[in-house]
Amino acid sequence: MNALLRRDIYRLFRTPLLYLFMLCAAVIPGSMSVMTGFEPGYDAWGQVSGLFSAGIFAIAGVFLAFFIGNDYKSGAVKNIFSLFPKKRGYAAAKLITGAVAGIMILLGYVLGAEVFGVFTGADFTSGLFDMLCAVVAKAGMMFLFSGIYVCVAALFRNKVWFSVFGILAVTMLFIPALLITLGTPLIMAGLSIAAGVIGLFVFPGIAALIMKRLDALA
């Protein structure tokens, strides 16, 4: 798994896809505020635990759909599976990389919210501690959701758009769980991290079962 993780992290930071998604995430807080009619009292730190922040998971999921789908679409997956790695290791590497990408996208969102707040003279009324708890909670949940997304992407392989729609559908199902992280106190941050750790161990196994039943190439 370490070798595959190293490969994926190298690829993550060498292709423009991640930076594109970070940019998309960064403009959400400001653009949503503008679209809903910018009102005084825009809370820059509060954006991190606001309703729109749940969309970060969907963005991270779409990113992962492309990241895994392009492995199959480009044929690069041949070079990986011809080394006969453990499928569980492949899935775990993708899960961790997806979570890292999700956290980077989240940080892009946070940065966008803060920059927009500074430029528009917004309030920074929410506690910094609460904001940090929300970031930690979302980061923990990223591991859980990344695991789910890897399973969906493993099912559809090179059919990237099927993966995208599948991931968006799954995200919709989990909206109540995402909303729990809004206004997150410390205990919720801890629970989210625990959920992420469980996901890290459970979902690679599920994804491996899916991949074992399907040929790497048709």
Alpha-carbon radius of gyration of the chain: 18
Residue 37 or residue 213: which is nearer to another protein going by CB?
213
User: Shortest Cβ distance from residue 151 to another protein (Å)?
Assistant: 20
Residue 36 or residue 82: which is nearer to another protein going by CB?
82
Other Cβ atoms less than 10 A from the Cβ of 122: the count is 23
- DSSP state at residue 49: G
The residues binding another protein (CB under 8 A) are 2-4, 6-7, 10-11, 14-16, 70, 74-85, 215-217
Q: Say if CB 143 and CB 200 are below 8 A apart.
A: yes
User: Shortest Cβ distance from residue 65 to another protein (Å)?
Assistant: 16
Residue 81 or residue 174: which is nearer to another protein going by CB?
81
User: Shortest Cβ distance from residue 39 to another protein (Å)?
Assistant: 41
Other Cβ atoms less than 10 A from the Cβ of 107: the count is 16
Residue 80 or residue 209: which is nearer to another protein going by CB?
80
- The sign of the dihedral angle between the CA atoms of 49, 23, 28, 142 is negative
User: Shortest Cβ distance from residue 218 to another protein (Å)?
Assistant: 9
Q: Give CA torsion, residues 179, 181, 187, 190, to 10 deg.
A: 120
